[in-house]
Structure 1
Amino acid sequence: MTCSTHRYSARPLHRLLAVFLASSAITIAATVAHAQHAGGTQLNVPAGSLTTALNRFAAQTKLQIVFDASVTAGVSTAGISGHLSTDTALSGLLAGTGITYRYSGASMVTLSKPGAASIAEADGETTLETIVIRSDRHYGEGKPNVSEIGKETIERAQASSIPELLKKTPGVSMGGGVRIQGQSISIRGFSRQSDTRILLDGAPKNFEKYDQGTIFVEPELLKRVEIEKGATSVRYGNGGFGGTVKMETKDAADMLKPSQSWGAWGKTAYQSANQEFLETGALYGRSDFGTPITYDGLLSLTWRKSDDMRIGGGEHYLYSDSELASGMVKGGAEFDGHEINASVMYGESNNWGPVAAIRGQLDFTQTDIDRYGYYEAARRRLAWRELKDLTSTFEYQYTGDSDLVNSRFMASYSSTGQRATRPGNTTASASVGGIENEATYSDLHLELENTSNFTLGGLGHKLNYGVQYNGHKREVTMFDIVNAAKPDYNFGYYAPWFMPEGTQDTASAFIRDTIEVTDALTVTPGLRFDWVRSEGVENDAPRYNNPAGLHDYSAVTHQGFTPAISVVWQATPDIRLFADWAYAMRAPNIDEIYSTQSAATSASGTSRDLDIERNNTINIGADFNFDDVFLSGDTLSARVALYNNRVTNPVTRRIGTANLSGMGAIGQVPWYWNTPSYYTRGIEMQFHYDTEKVFADLGMSWMTGTRNGAINNLRGSDTFINDLAPATMQAALGFKVPDRDLSFGWSATLVADQDQTPYNQDGRTYARPPGKGYAVHTLFLDWTPKDGFMKDTELHMALENVFDKEYEPYLSDGITAMPGRNLKVSLSRRF
């Protein structure tokens, strides 16, 4: 009998595209055009400090204002009021101050003043801090469901992984444990990999290998992360019920010092809990070389290595060490309304670890130790895991003289592959991936869109419309040594029945129109259409490729519209109210459609008849921004957001004897099915207070959710859903020493007990047990000198888990504790 051992290689088109994206930046020229804000707006900015006035002005006009600290120091303004154009209002604010302005982008204004330090041509010994005032003030884009993590927060966090970086955001939790390859993200009670959309410079990152984490991007590459919680934007579709995580990588403009055309940056870091060392550096430049074309480029390399993690109380988790290397090449060019950017990012890690990366301490039986010796007994519980992660992007933008043409094209190719081997273990069963397994998940993504600005019927319109394509491919293989002699298992070479191979192609179109109903009220209706074609690959093992067991890997299509609407009302200059609604969809993924079991089991078949899931979701919220609240020059920002999700036709594995009774004959029941609806709802609150010498933050989140019946007994009573995060509060209090460019303070994570779980209801068999609350405290210090010998140097220090608390986050499934007392130190410098 012939033994098939086929493996799929990447499509030739994908390979050629990856090479093309890597070289595009140095072959095409581009630039960003800017626009004047000529339309009138109702403005009200009282007299007083110019810095405070500019804050109010930016919030009301949606401008971003950039200037050096010396420009507005000690300057006052008479204020402005009335229905004014942006130029007239800004000229009025600056009247008599000697300060001038220029547009440096479509929504960006740069201020300058003779005799003050210039942002573009500053003296290296006297340059003060550049200040950027954004229209959204402290929180994200001004939407109730958007949180932003900027460069300063990323540097201060000193995170080793993306889930670790995001976990302090209200409504966001980290799953897994201390092993980087076993971490995942949960947002607002949605914990499946397909419920959190991950984008890196617009490229989707889709890795859903069972118990192996979801995202492996190096945080050192990033300048900004935006978390759009919920699924209310038609810009993205087919999934992401929890939300969308959009990561932006650094570029030369973020790294260059004033007046520099090229530079270098280096950083070293250490953390004590796992003896982790980090070394990272970058070379970058930006110049027109005396031509009409402006070029920029950046090369970055990072190396991270750690030993086993020490958890609270002193225990070390065996085989939680790691070694990772990553790099990025990024370049672009600008010319006469055209801009092009391209990048390639690659990361790799190799290490021994548990077969399931999402797990806690390893336990070896004394019998195994006596029989094999300690190291061999350990190795029999481990896998040698090799991970390779590639992302390549290409983006072209054109902003012409016409308001109707603002076009963008983006193409990306991303691939995450993991190979795991268990040498010498002759008892490794197929349920744990056999003695050897390999999975590669790749995505080819294309986008073409345009934005047109016009006036129709007396109302201003910003019409954004486009088309998208995503080609997702899963290549999986395994060697099952236990069944290597059995023809029914193809002599051990086949794809695991719970990780089928296949492709999923998605073609989409969207349109959304931001309508200025009044100066204070905007309404944005939108509509999206997704067409999804999924096709499986026949299993090489006849046991899992048997038509008599309902094994059918042929193609199936799903489609649907997503309507949405967003309303924003600037009730007062300091209060803004929001509401977002959408009827989002998610098509079943490859695993859900084509996973199967043998015909001898009760639920054996593939699940080609699954319906799409729907989420009837709404967010409402408010932003508050007040100046001079307690002290002259202070600011208080607050955000309150409430959400409700109603998910119908959720796709679930068919588990529990109660769900199988009366379903049909053995071998005639699909493994996945659509189950009754469930809901999640919650509230998130954030507060930020800032003065010249003190700052404070407070974030709180609470959620609940119930499903009809239990996941393992649909006929039972209603139960909580399984992935609810407990009530959580994040607090921080800090102090600034402006004369020393120093800040320091305290922060804490306070988590309540979690008893909202089906564990004590009918769903006990497949539920997390109740979780205990905990409090974890951190001390931090940040030094960013602006002048003197140490100028352009940053020092960040933190002592996390000060009291060495041993604790297990609820979504870690009670299998892993978190790092104990941990000293983190990082030192970086720009040259």
Structure 2
Amino acid sequence: MTRKTRPARRWMRSPLLSLLLGSVVLASLPEGAWAQQADTISIDLPAGSFAASLSRFASQSGLQVVFDASLASGKSSGRVSGSMTVGEALQKLLAGTGLTYRFVGERTVKLEKVSADAPASGTDDETLLSRVTVEAGGVFNSGAPSVAEIGAAQIEAAQSNSLPQLLQKTPGVSATGGVRLQGQSLSIRGFTRQSDVRILLDGAPKNFERYDQGTVFVDPELLKRVEIQKGATSVRYGNGGFGGTVIMESKTAEDMLLEGRSFGAWVKTGYQTANHQRLGSAAIYGKSDFGGPVTYDGLASVIWRKSGNMRVGGGQVYEASSDRLTSFSANGGLEVDGHELRASVIYGRSSDYGPPAANRGDLDLTAYSISRYGYELARLRALALREMEDFSSSLKYGYTGDSDLVNVKAMLSVSSTDLHMTRPTIAGFTPSASLGGQEDDAKYTDVKFELENTSNFDLGGFSHVANYGVQYMHHDRDTWMYDIANRNSAQYNYGRYTSWIMPQGKQDTLAAFIRDEIALTADFKVTPGLRFDYVRSQGVPNAAPRYNNPAAGHDYSAVSHSGATPALSLRWEATPETTLFADWAYAMRVPVIDELYSSQSASTTASGTSRNLEVERDNNFNIGISHQFDGLLAEEDTVKTSLALFYNHVTNPVTRRFGSANLANVTGPVPFYWNTPSYKIYGADLSVNYDSETIFSTLGLSWMNGSRNGAINDVRGPDTYFQDLAPFTGNVQLGYKFADWDLAISWTGLFVSAQNRTPYNQGTGYFYARPESKGYAVHGISVDWTPKEGSLAGIEVHAAIDNLFDKYYEPYLSDGIAAMPGRNFKVSISRKF
């Protein structure tokens, strides 16, 4: 087999490499790849998921395969079996995928799309050498049952209005809040706090945490892929994320271009009946080298949503539940000689009247209020003008050399979320300060920089893939309100101050991490990891003397926390069809600004700020198994199953200090937040996917349980349930494909059991717990038409009816105050040009 080559480069050419490679043992140069391609190996890859086949190929060949995860999303591969060279195996594996490969090191193969003017993979036995920067794939326990992925095709078919709606069918993931887009949040494996569900958009953290509001406001239309890493066992992240990490990637030109095209456009329209939502979206994009050595690509898009009030099951319409959202995005990059630079900007804005607390149901106007003020005035008194702006930007650089030691990435991101609320001005109406007063604003801003490298080398007789790097993160909370009721009080700074439960402040984090996947055998890999975080928090003194009084224990000065997170992962490919996984980490979470610097007045017992809080710790485990069956019911069918068991033991959890039992015999001011006794959450997720030429089906099951030592409001009392446990949940889909027509129809079912595992009926816990919920079953049908050939190629039509029987139901995590949408007909039509 021949190979096109180019002159070797000097690794010292990049000024960053001497620092990054100083701690790595030097490995041989890529000339050894010639021998790798010619070696005859025994390969047995069953038909099925392309990503799973790549992972098996890496294990059986002894090679490291790196690729952007989006390249494998939604693809399948045929069976590859027998004795053959590496090159022959790769050609057969990549046949029909539109991908090619190249060796970039002695044992490292990269996958990339075939360019429009390049021959297909394997032509004349040559390996193409066009340059791209890709993300590592097939390493660090990829494919584990605790990891779920939603690709572009699934995002389009779902027609979801928000990220929580998109992810809620993933086992172990639930949506919280109500039907309003601004009030929705995510819960993963029983963890519902924003700091326990880490959210990243193109690498930029999204850390909005305003009480009674949502946490993420990204339109799913912008996304090409979402990955959910359940649990906190990866040292790549850190400081929080006990429930898991949600990684969102926005669309690029390469994701949108039709085959063989350099430029294109896309338009889409959609409609939903439950809230009369109208959707419009358009994008233009292109990719070309314009005859030079540099390849450029760019995409610009706009999305517009407008809806009326939401109709829930049974026919009730929730007042002030309408939404208006406009989003803009731009994504561009350039590639040259192993270097890639990419920038993305996403901006969204919404403005409409709604209740001050967005995660609720109807306005619930009382008969007394209506009779006293009249319906329209009573309605206005319950509303606020909610203006939301959400911004994310990232700049990424990547360099991939011809050495196994070099795969450098750097990223700088800036993101912010700003919610401004104004209550109507009504004679005699004085809005409560607990709901933000007459006017309030909360803006949360994050700046992040990270630098990392991945190296492949041999040491001690074993193959290593080491990923290591440093990170800096700056988080700023800027909040204020106008409390019109105290506009004449000097103790309240004449009404202009920061809410006592949403203090201002900033956190700066310095972190370093390393993880090393060691192949002890071709089938067994162990990955030790270590992370260190140093976090410095600084409060901003409240402008109101009532909440800035040393005698009440108020102290807004800086405080530091630090700690190490050790981790260990195991992966054993017992057979080509069966893989076992195990992960452990002793994760940490530093208290956030609200927990450190919230306060009350001197007239209360627990009035002080809480600078002495200790770091939370989560001793967490994931154990899982995945198995693939081929030819089970038909010759070409595939069944993929995965089972994940998880256990979390959280020590030093941070909670508010409330409850008469907790405050009994307490003298003098004490902190508003404190560390309480530990709690445990454990459970299981099961996923089963069946696919054949005509029939497809999915099954997702989730079960969890847990307990707290004592209760939140009585830490010395009897043990109680942990309050955020989602009930046993099953999601089912059964469908049929008309391959000749590129048409698929399916039925979906959501089955949720009653939830009585709540502290609501345990002693005095009902004051601070979610009420019990009833079980329910919800059904839907969908039709998807995606013609692949002819004049209609590029068109997609998706139609569905959710909640087919118009069921009225209230999910447990909605706190019994919000039902879900009723029967909802959804349709979207898009076309690429």
Q: Does 1:530 align with 2:533?
A: yes
1:155 aligns with 2:156: yes
Q: Deviation per CA, 1:433-488: give whole Å up to 9, x if none.
A: 10100010000100011111111111111111100011000000100011111110
Distance change (3 Å), C-alpha of 1:52 and 1:407:
closer
The CA distance in 1 between the partners of 2:501 and 2:396, in whole Å, is 36
**Matched residues, percent identical?**
55
Once the two structures are superposed, what CA deviation does each residue of 1:117-139 show, in whole Å capped at 9, x if it has no partner?
97999xxxxxxxxxxxx9879x9
CA 1:136–1:406 in 2, change beyond 3 Å: closer, same or farther?
closer
Residue 429 of structure 1 corresponds to 432
Please give the alpha-carbon distance, in whole angstroms, between the structure 2 residues aligned to 1:58 and 1:334: 27
> For residues 42 and 760 of structure 1, do their structure 2 counterparts lie closer, same or farther at Cα, with a shift above 3 Å needed?
farther
By how many angstroms is 1:769 displaced?
A: 1.4
Amino acid aligned to 2:364: D
Q: Could you tell me how far apart the structure 1 residues matched to 2:500 and 2:146 are? A: 38
Q: Structure 1 CA distance, aligned partners of 2:670 and 2:518?
A: 50
Residues 663 and 590 of structure 1, relative CA distance in 2, 3 Å threshold? same
Report how many aligned residue pairs link the two structures. Answer: 772
Paired AA for residue 553 in structure 1:
Y
Q: Match for residue 818 of structure 1?
A: 820
Per the alignment, residue 673 of structure 2 pairs with 672
For residue 252 of structure 2, what is the amino acid of its counterpart?
D
Q: Tell me, yes or no, if the aligned pair for 2:49 and 2:76 is still in contact at 8 Å.
A: no
- Supply the distance in 2 between the matched residues of 1:596 and 1:536 (Cα, whole angstroms): 12
Q: Hey, what does 2:600 align to over in structure 1? A: 597
Distance between the aligned counterparts of 1:111 and 1:386, measured in 2? Answer: 42
Structure 1 residues 118 and 452 mapped into 2: Cα distance closer, same or farther (>3 Å)? closer
Equivalent position of 2:709 in the other structure: 708
Mapped to 2, the partners of 1:729 and 1:72 lie a distance apart of 26
**Aligned partners of 1:747, 1:662: CA distance in 2, in Å?**
55
| Pairs within 5 Å for 1:460-471 | 460-471=463-474
The answer to whether the 8 A contact 2:52-2:143 is kept is no
What letter matches 1:705 in structure 2? Answer: G
Q: Which runs of 5+ in 1 are unaligned?
A: 1-32, 122-133
Partner of residue 634, structure 2: 631
Q: Which residue pairs with 1:181 in the alignment?
A: 182
Change (3 A) 1:423 1:54: closer
Partner of 1:28: none
Partner of 1:103: 102
Change (3 A) 1:346 1:176: same
Tell me, yes or no, if structure 1 residue 743 matches structure 2 residue 740.
no
Q: 2:803 maps to which residue? A: 801
Could you tell me which residue of structure 2 aligns to residue 755 of structure 1? 756
1:87 paired residue number: 87
Query: Residue in 2 aligned with 1:391?
Result: 392
**How many angstroms apart in 1 are the aligned matches of 2:49 and 2:665?**
69
- Look up the match of 1:784: 786
What amino acid is the match of 1:686?
S
Q: Could you tell me whether the CA contact under 8 Å between 2:58 and 2:138 is conserved in 1? A: no
CA positional deviation for 1:43: 6.5
Taking a change above 3 Å as real, the CA distance of residues 600 and 135 of structure 1, as seen in their structure-2 partners, is closer
Partner SS for 1:437: strand
Distance of 1:67 and 1:361 partners within structure 2: 44
For residues 213-232 of structure 1, give each alpha carbon's deviation from its aligned partner in whole angstroms, at most 9, with x where no partner exists: 10000110000000000100
In the alignment, residue 634 of structure 1 is paired with which amino acid? Answer: D
Query: Which residue is 1:565 aligned to?
Result: 568
For the residues of structure 2 that align with 1:444 and 1:780, how far apart are their CA atoms? 41
CA RMSD of aligned residues (A): 3.0
Cα distance, 1:44 vs. partner? 5.2
Deviation at 1:46, TM superposition (A): 5.3
Deviation at 1:366, TM superposition (A): 3.4
- The 1:248–1:54 alpha-carbon spacing in structure 2 relative to 1, beyond 3 Å, is closer
- Asked whether 1:453 is paired with 2:452, we answer no
State how far apart, in whole Å, the 2-side matches of 1:689 and 1:364 are.
Answer: 49
Write out aligned runs for 1:78-477 (5 A).
Answer: 79-81=81-83, 86-87=86-87, 89-90=89-90, 102-103=101-102, 107-109=109-111, 141-425=142-426, 426-477=429-480
Q: Which region of structure 1 is more displaced relative to structure 2, 186-195 or 625-634?
A: 625-634
1-side partners of 2:438 and 2:359: how far apart?
A: 19
1:761-788 Cα shifts (integer Å, max 9, x gaps): 1222211111100000010110000112
Q: Secondary structure at the match of 2:791?
A: coil
User: Is contact 1:607-1:671 (8 Å) kept?
Assistant: yes
CA displacement at 1:627 relative to structure 2: 1.4
Q: Do the aligned partners of residues 301 and 57 (structure 1) sit closer, same or farther apart at CA in structure 2, a change above 3 Å counting?
A: closer
The answer (yes or no) to whether the contact 2:698–2:733 under 8 Å persists in 1 is yes
Q: Secondary structure at the match of 1:316?
A: coil
CA distance in 2, matches of 1:561, 1:520: 30
Letter in 1 for 2:415: S
- Uncovered stretches (5+) of structure 2, i.e. residues with no partner: 1-29, 60-64, 124-135
TM-score scaled by length of structure 2: 0.88
**2-side partners of 1:699 and 1:323: how far apart?**
33
Q: What is the DSSP-based 3-state SS (H/G/I as helix, E as strand, rest coil) of the residue aligned with 1:378? A: helix
Rounded Cα–Cα distance in structure 2 between residues aligned with 1:758 and 1:564 = 33
Aligned to 1:59: 56
Q: Aligned residue for 2:13?
A: none
In structure 2, relative to structure 1, the CA distance for the partners of 1:489 and 1:267 (3 Å cut) is same
Give the drift of 1:103: 3.4
Residue type at the aligned position of 1:386: E
Letter in 1 for 2:265: A
Cα distance in 2, alignment partners of residues 335 and 650 from structure 1? 49
Where 1:427 maps in the other structure, the secondary structure is: coil
Match of 1:768 among 761, 767, 770: 770
For residues 229-284 of structure 1, give each alpha carbon's deviation from its aligned partner in whole angstroms, at most 9, with x where no partner exists. 01000000100000000000000000001111100001101110000000001000
Letter in 2 for 1:144: P
Structure 2 Cα separation of the partners of residues 302 and 723 of structure 1: 34
Amino acid at match of 1:416: T
1:86 alignment partner AA: V
Q: Take 2:715 and 2:782, find their aligned partners in 1: how far apart are those partners?
A: 49
* Deviation for aligned residue 1:365: 2.9
Counterpart Cα distance in 2 of 1:781 and 1:738:
13
How many angstroms does 1:725 deviate by? 0.2
CA distance in 1, matches of 2:51, 2:162: 36
Q: How far is the alpha carbon of 1:144 from its aligned partner?
A: 2.3
Q: Which residue of 2 aligns with 1:7?
A: none
Q: Secondary structure at the match of 1:789?
A: helix
Q: What secondary structure sits across from 1:692 in the alignment?
A: coil
> Does the C-alpha gap of structure 1 residues 302 and 54 become closer, same or farther in structure 2, counting only changes over 3 Å?
closer
Q: Which moved more, 1:100-109 or 1:274-283?
A: 100-109
Compared CA separation, residues 120 and 252, structure 1 to 2 (3 A): farther
Say if 1:537 and 1:146 are closer, same or farther in 2 by CA, change over 3 A.
same
Contact kept in structure 1, 2:596 and 2:673, CA below 8 Å: yes
User: CA 1:67 to 1:659, structure 2 compared with 1: closer, same or farther past 3 Å?
Assistant: closer
1:11 aligns to what?
none
- What do the CA deviations read for 1:700-759 (whole angstroms, capped 9, x no partner)? 010000010011111110000110000000001000011000000101110001111011
